[in-house]
Structure 1
């Protein structure tokens, strides 16, 4: 392997490890939720607030993160992320009161928010555009390893080492990894310019975001991310474990194993989806559309099953299929990469990333409010009503994805008509928009 490729691989792997760690911390409440409810003496709504706060901070920080990465470079941002996540988890380990625990999860969410956009910015700098989707898929799959570690292995650690020791060791190791990032990661290949944004003032920053948002490919990416990743994430982060134990009557070990499917399937399918969509980018949104239709059918079965207690094999199949939404969400970042210049890729990626995490925040809060009372007392009927929040968000996301898919396609056709180079060549269909009323979504070459 040439030295340049080997160096690029080492830098990407070092950065991707931060994202793996971030996903571990983010999903750690998935199996620790019931222990957290007992430790802090809280009900379902308060328990849901942990996830709402953490993911809400994550979502709110995505655009600022993109701006920070474009301005200061991913190495500095990733180093800060590791320190913040470590401090947040250390605080969570020793917290004995609900307010302090909320502060800890907020700090953790802040650090988590800085990771994924930074890694993808490095991918954009070190790898050609045709490899971007593949590396984004592999990065997401590595994140799934962190999720996997936060299922059955974390359950065993909590049972044997206890709450404080488990989370304290995880926090200290994460903070220490910041030194590895600072020493090993470099923002761009040797001899290449940094491609950093010059936006400093409020007006320049706003203009940077506005330019990213006005691109139809960015908007389409936002809604693709919104629609595909939120349901498996909500199940894995918090509500899947109580649902399987309280509503479906599974043992905690069995529930942890089912939740691990959300990760294992994503781990296997992520690189496959990335490679396929990298080679045939015209398949990206049709694959998303097929998934959304299948997800709607699965939720109709799960929530409409007589009595609410679904046969275990059907639950396993449903969770496995729903888990594909995680890897498919990486398509959103490829869309942002394709239709934005490299100096604005971080900002556009941050805008896109807001989509899924906004959906997670709203859905997790909605489920907690609809459940009410104590999560340990919720039965199949209660979860059937509460999970209607997932169906509502899925319908909203599917509708907006369809709208912006047509608009993005129209923007490509307009660009071709003007004689411009477009990232993906597509064929006009009968359902396409004849022409855009404005030039609101003119794609820009990603290499600009």
Structure 2
């Protein structure tokens, strides 16, 4: 597999790796923004005097605004300009993180999370078309692997950085603020790079705006006609992509499982297995680092075999591993090992899902198609934290994590149905 990756890098056009590298770095920050607070839920609970369920709502708010802005950003990337979509979302995400670092109250934190969600929403609709239009078909799985690697390392950063800052006696705000400052600097740099150095054939939309709304008459009615035309255009694009809608449903289910695990695994390791905060966060970081390597395996397998079997195996293994973890029948060291294995197993599915989304996307709607599947992912992010936080407070940790395992096994069933109905990439 290593030889094939090196060979792929040698034969890829230079612009492919410029685009894939820059977008992967953007994905690193994007994913870091998503997991700022799960490593320090106990700290936040004490500072803002709220419970896990309320903090789950704060995590869910980010997922909700992320979901709401997926299609608008997808439309922007597909019909207007991908550089604007990437730059705008990158700046908004960084500003939201800086606002979270300064949050004096729980309510302020909710607003900051909402802004982060809007910023994060634009990444996938811009990233995936940029990769798709700059990468040869036979290298697509490997390009998505590098992209997934950036995201996995991004997930791994906050547990180490923010928990390390807290363990050293400093405020969590310092760690969050540092991530926001780096994110803002990168947002400005990557916007310049794509505006000045990347070919317009990559950054321009697939399909020019059709101007549906231009016939709406006077200014007021034209504005109303524009919104109606856009709504109709969204519905047409959705109806033309039943396979993408099915993938969005699968993404919702698998994401609910993944975010349920990520949001509360540190809490479970602390309260259920007796680990300290720093060691529990090291386990979470380790799971993402294992996932960062496993994503290359997923990309290679997706290119060599096909997407469906890779996804089925990934979801099934995650379900079994989380089930064993939930039962609490192993010791603390073995529990950490299970967390690492979950990180690797769930990452294998990422490139396969991306490749399948690309294959099922209607012509000229790649950004919107990835926005639709990301809506599924982000709905899972919106639903899982409050739902499983409530379960932990009412039914206990074991019941909540057995629920996480069950949802992952449901994703296996959905994947089998999806491949049988729509085919494999």
- What is the TM-score with the length of structure 2 in the denominator? 0.85
Give the whole-Å Cα distance in 2 for the aligned partners of 1:120 and 1:141: 14
Give the whole-Å Cα distance in 1 for the aligned partners of 2:398 and 2:23: 40
Judging by fraction of residues, say which structure has more helix.
Answer: 2
Match of 1:384 in 2: 398
Match of 1:427 in 2: none
Give the whole-Å Cα distance in 2 for the aligned partners of 1:328 and 1:14: 22
Structure 2 residue 270 is matched with structure 1 residue 245: yes
Give the whole-Å Cα distance in 2 for the aligned partners of 1:199 and 1:364: 40
Structure 1 residues 361 and 93: alpha-carbon distance in aligned structure 2, compared to 1, 3 A threshold: same
Match of 1:297 in 2: 320
Give the whole-Å Cα distance in 2 for the aligned partners of 1:63 and 1:343: 14
- 1:164-175 counterparts in 2 under 5 A? 164-175=173-184
User: Is the 2:314–2:348 contact (alpha carbons within 8 Å) kept by the matching residues of 1?
Assistant: no
Question: Which of 299, 307, 316 in structure 2 is aligned with 1:274?
Answer: 299
Question: Which of 375, 394, 408 in structure 2 is aligned with 1:394?
Answer: 408
User: Is the 1:220–1:335 contact (alpha carbons within 8 Å) kept by the matching residues of 2?
Assistant: no
Match of 1:336 in 2: 357
User: Is the 2:160–2:285 contact (alpha carbons within 8 Å) kept by the matching residues of 1?
Assistant: yes
Gaps of 5+ in 1: 374-380, 413-423, 425-448
Structure 1 residues 319 and 209: alpha-carbon distance in aligned structure 2, compared to 1, 3 A threshold: farther
Structure 1 residues 346 and 209: alpha-carbon distance in aligned structure 2, compared to 1, 3 A threshold: farther
Structure 2 residue 185 is matched with structure 1 residue 179: no
Give the whole-Å Cα distance in 2 for the aligned partners of 1:262 and 1:135: 22
Structure 1 residues 335 and 205: alpha-carbon distance in aligned structure 2, compared to 1, 3 A threshold: farther
Alpha-carbon distance, 1:188 to partner: 6.4
Give the whole-Å Cα distance in 2 for the aligned partners of 1:320 and 1:251: 17
Alpha-carbon distance, 1:227 to partner: 4.2
Give the whole-Å Cα distance in 2 for the aligned partners of 1:214 and 1:54: 29
Alpha-carbon distance, 1:214 to partner: 4.2
Of residues 319-328 and 120-129 in structure 1, the stretch that sits farther from structure 2 once superposed is 319-328
Structure 1 residues 220 and 286: alpha-carbon distance in aligned structure 2, compared to 1, 3 A threshold: farther
Match of 1:217 in 2: 243
How many correspondences in the alignment? 398
Structure 1 residues 276 and 243: alpha-carbon distance in aligned structure 2, compared to 1, 3 A threshold: same
User: Is the 1:73–1:196 contact (alpha carbons within 8 Å) kept by the matching residues of 2?
Assistant: no
Structure 1 residues 314 and 79: alpha-carbon distance in aligned structure 2, compared to 1, 3 A threshold: same
Give the whole-Å Cα distance in 2 for the aligned partners of 1:78 and 1:273: 26
- 1:12-91 counterparts in 2 under 5 A? 12-91=20-99
User: Is the 1:199–1:205 contact (alpha carbons within 8 Å) kept by the matching residues of 2?
Assistant: no
Structure 2 residue 342 is matched with structure 1 residue 325: no
Question: Which of 155, 158, 162 in structure 1 is aligned with 2:171?
Answer: 162
Structure 1 residues 121 and 209: alpha-carbon distance in aligned structure 2, compared to 1, 3 A threshold: farther
User: Is the 2:99–2:112 contact (alpha carbons within 8 Å) kept by the matching residues of 1?
Assistant: yes
Structure 2 residue 422 is matched with structure 1 residue 408: yes
Alpha-carbon distance, 1:276 to partner: 2.4
Gaps of 5+ in 2: 1-8, 212-225
Structure 1 residues 322 and 124: alpha-carbon distance in aligned structure 2, compared to 1, 3 A threshold: same
Question: Which of 258, 264, 285 in structure 1 is aligned with 2:283?
Answer: 258
Structure 1 residues 309 and 152: alpha-carbon distance in aligned structure 2, compared to 1, 3 A threshold: farther
Question: Which of 110, 120, 125 in structure 2 is aligned with 1:102?
Answer: 110
Give the whole-Å Cα distance in 1 for the aligned partners of 2:350 and 2:240: 20
Give the whole-Å Cα distance in 1 for the aligned partners of 2:259 and 2:351: 14
Give the whole-Å Cα distance in 2 for the aligned partners of 1:146 and 1:40: 26
SS in 2 for 1:335: helix
User: Is the 2:16–2:134 contact (alpha carbons within 8 Å) kept by the matching residues of 1?
Assistant: yes
Alpha-carbon distance, 1:99 to partner: 0.4
- What is the TM-score with the length of structure 1 in the denominator? 0.81
Match of 2:375 in 1: 354
SS in 1 for 2:365: helix
Give the whole-Å Cα distance in 1 for the aligned partners of 2:147 and 2:153: 10
Match of 2:389 in 1: 368
Structure 1 residues 95 and 234: alpha-carbon distance in aligned structure 2, compared to 1, 3 A threshold: same
Structure 1 residues 235 and 352: alpha-carbon distance in aligned structure 2, compared to 1, 3 A threshold: same
Give the whole-Å Cα distance in 2 for the aligned partners of 1:90 and 1:198: 35
